[in-house]
Amino acid sequence: MNNIDENESCKFTPPVDVDLIVFDFDGVFTDNKVYTAQDGTETVVCDRRDGLGIEMLKKINIPMFILSMEQNPVVIARAKKLDLEVKAGCEDKKSFLQYYFKKKGIDSANVIYIGNDLNDLEAMGLVGCSICPGDSHAKVKESATYILASNGGNGAVRELAELLIQNKGK
């Protein structure tokens, strides 16, 4: 029985050309918790490091957007703040992405999808590189190309940005 070198098993290898990054919202930009006030207003907490990570990715000209099942206005508000396109209230992420890739002429092999839960699995299976935060559902971790050390809402997007920038220089 051969021992696997720990560093070898954890290497991040993104597609050679990254044409697009698709982000789930809850559990990626947030810690997957929602806070509900007495009046029914919901809020979430996002990490500012992730906002800086988005800015880093913009500087290397990688197109990005948020794809979320959630219909809460907070998703749209955060996307607006980050100056990202967003498709909220998307019940069938796989079908939407298939349509989007065809419409935009994007090779799915050059797409990175980052998600954290079971509703992301089919979309993750469409792309060349699927990534998940460290605290993702076990089945998502099993199918992901790469598991981030950071948890959702705790710098996962920033970690991805730093990994892509490091790999771009190689």
Q: Is 140 exposed, middle or buried (0-12, 13-18, 19+ CB in 10 A)?
A: buried
Per-residue pLDDT of 111-140, as tens digits, reads: 999 999 999 999 999 999 999 999 999 999
Q: Report yes or no: 139 and 33 within 8 Å, Cβ to Cβ.
A: no
Mean pLDDT of 145-157: 96
Residue 12 placed within a domain: no
**Does residue 27 carry a pLDDT above 70?**
yes
> What count of Cα atoms within 13 Å lies in the side-chain half-sphere of residue 102?
6
Per-residue pLDDT of 34-92, as tens digits, reads: 999 999 988 999 999 999 999 999 999 999 999 999 988 999 999 999 999 999 999 99
**Does residue 1 carry a pLDDT above 80?**
no
Residue 2 placed within a domain: no
The count of structural domains within the chain is 1
pLDDT, position 57: 96
Residue in the structure block whose two tokens are 């993104």: 14
Residue 10 placed within a domain: no
Residue 3 placed within a domain: no
Q: Structural domain of residue 144, as residue ranges?
A: 17-168
Residue 8 placed within a domain: no
The domain that contains 146 carries what CATH number? 3.40.50.1000
Residue 132 placed within a domain: yes
pLDDT, position 10: 56
pLDDT, position 13: 75
In the numeric block, which tokens belong to residue 10? 């954890």
